[in-house]
Amino acid sequence: MPVDEVLYRRDTTLVRRLRLAPGEMTPWHRDPFHRVTVVLGGDAITIEFRDGAQPESPPIAAGTTDWDEPTERVHRAVNVGRQVYEEITVFLLDHPDAVLQPTDG
């Protein structure tokens, strides 16, 4: 089961650690907020889209850092590699009680 741990929360800033073992995936969700993601480890991840579009496989390396724009597109991350995938994400919320990644079904 994925490990999703809140490391810090203050006002509209939240820091989360996500770990996915090989074969694990996140729930289907949307990403309604800006965020910065730092990859800590892993070797391969695929982003699948609920609408059936071609999956994306971003390059994965420890230290890779990315600015992510909000999206209403429903998707999930799947660890297709042989190593544990781990990331730290800083979410910039619109209000303190916002739901980070609303699930879809």
Tens digits of residue pLDDT in 20-56: 999 999 999 999 999 999 999 999 999 999 999 999 9
Question: CA separation (Å) from 75 to 8, 54, 56, 61, 105?
Answer: 25, 11, 10, 21, 11
**Is the pLDDT score of 95 beyond 80?**
yes
**Is the pLDDT score of 100 beyond 90?**
no
Alpha-carbon distance 48 to 56, whole Å?
7
**Is the pLDDT score of 105 beyond 60?**
no
Strands 34-41 and 71-79: unpaired
Domain spans, the chain: 3-92
**Average pLDDT value over all residues in the chain:** 94
Q: How confident is the model at residue 103 (pLDDT cuts 50, 70, 90)?
A: confident
The CATH architecture that domain 3-92 belongs to is Sandwich (2.60)
